[in-house]
């Protein structure tokens, strides 16, 4: 039975403000792995290795989790890092107006459990990943960039669909494709 590395997400568009931050991060610390702007998304649920035969059931689950939901707007605001600004593994942009996203993520988590997927242990924390470090780093230059954009508004996005995505890991970085999609409204 064929499997693929899967996750459920909202795709986001690139914009010039975000591109500028990526440039600054790259020049401050060339070893950072920047996320390709074509891959910008908010992960609602990471599934991991997934049987292809489950695709129809996963789509039904997304449909149930979004029933009655019309397209809605989220705001991209501020920068930060996981686990913290002084110990950096992931650099991100924050998301505001996340009530609907959180509700969808919670429903997906509960419903996908019955298909054999693990429940999330961490609380849902919607964000747009900009860059990753191979290991935890501390960098005054990066901290400064994070501080500089801590309150920055990076624009609004209309969430119109939820997508089941496939991730193929390559030496140049992951390649994402849409396996299936549920349109809101």
Cα Rg of the chain, angstroms: 17
Q: Which parts of the chain sit beneath pLDDT 50?
A: none
The total of structural domains in the chain comes to 1
Spell out a b/e string for 22-47, using b for 16 or more CB atoms within 10 Å of the CB, else e: bebbeeebeebebbeeebbbbbbbeb
Phi-psi region for residue 76, left (φ > 0), alpha (ψ -120 to 50) or beta? beta
* Nearest in space to 79 (alpha carbons), one of 34, 129, 125: 129
At residue 172, the pLDDT reads 83
Residue-level pLDDT at 1? 76
Task: Convert the pLDDT of each residue in 61-115 to its tens digit.
Answer: 999 999 999 999 999 999 999 999 999 999 999 999 999 999 999 999 999 999 9
What's the CATH number where 151 sits? Answer: 3.90.1140.10
In the set 17, 26, 41, 85, the catalytic residue is 41
42 is catalytic: no
- Give the per-residue pLDDT at 173: 84
Res 27: pLDDT: 97
What is the domain range of residue 11? 3-183
d(Cα 43, Cα 36) in Å, to the nearest integer?
15
- Closest Cα to residue 75, out of 49, 101, 56? 101
Catalytic residue among 107, 127, 165, 166: 127
pTM of the model: 0.94
Give residue 171's pLDDT: 87
What proportion of the chain, given as a percentage, has pLDDT over 70?
100
145 is catalytic: no
């Amino acid at each position: 039975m064929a499997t693929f590395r899967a996750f459920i997400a909202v795709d986001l568009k690139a914009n010039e403000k975000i591109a500028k931050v990526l440039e600054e991060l790259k020049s401050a610390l060339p070893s950072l792995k920047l996320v390709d702007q074509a891959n910008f998304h908010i992960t609602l649920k990471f599934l991991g290795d997934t049987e292809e035969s489950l695709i129809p059931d996963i789509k039904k689950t997304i449909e149930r989790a979004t029933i009655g939901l019309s397209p809605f707007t989220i705001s991209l605001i501020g920068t930060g890092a996981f686990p913290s600004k002084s110990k950096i593994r992931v650099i991100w942009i924050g998301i505001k107006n996340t009530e609907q996203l959180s509700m969808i993520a919670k429903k997906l988590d509960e419903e996908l459990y019955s298909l054999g997927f693990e429940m999330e242990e961490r609380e849902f924390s919607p964000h747009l990943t900009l860059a990753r470090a191979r290991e935890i780093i501390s960098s005054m230059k990066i901290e400064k960039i994070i501080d500089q954009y801590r309150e920055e508004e990076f624009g609004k996005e209309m969430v119109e669909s939820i997508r089941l995505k496939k991730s193929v890991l390559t030496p140049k970085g992951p390649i994402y494709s849409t396996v299936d999609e549920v349109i809101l409204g």
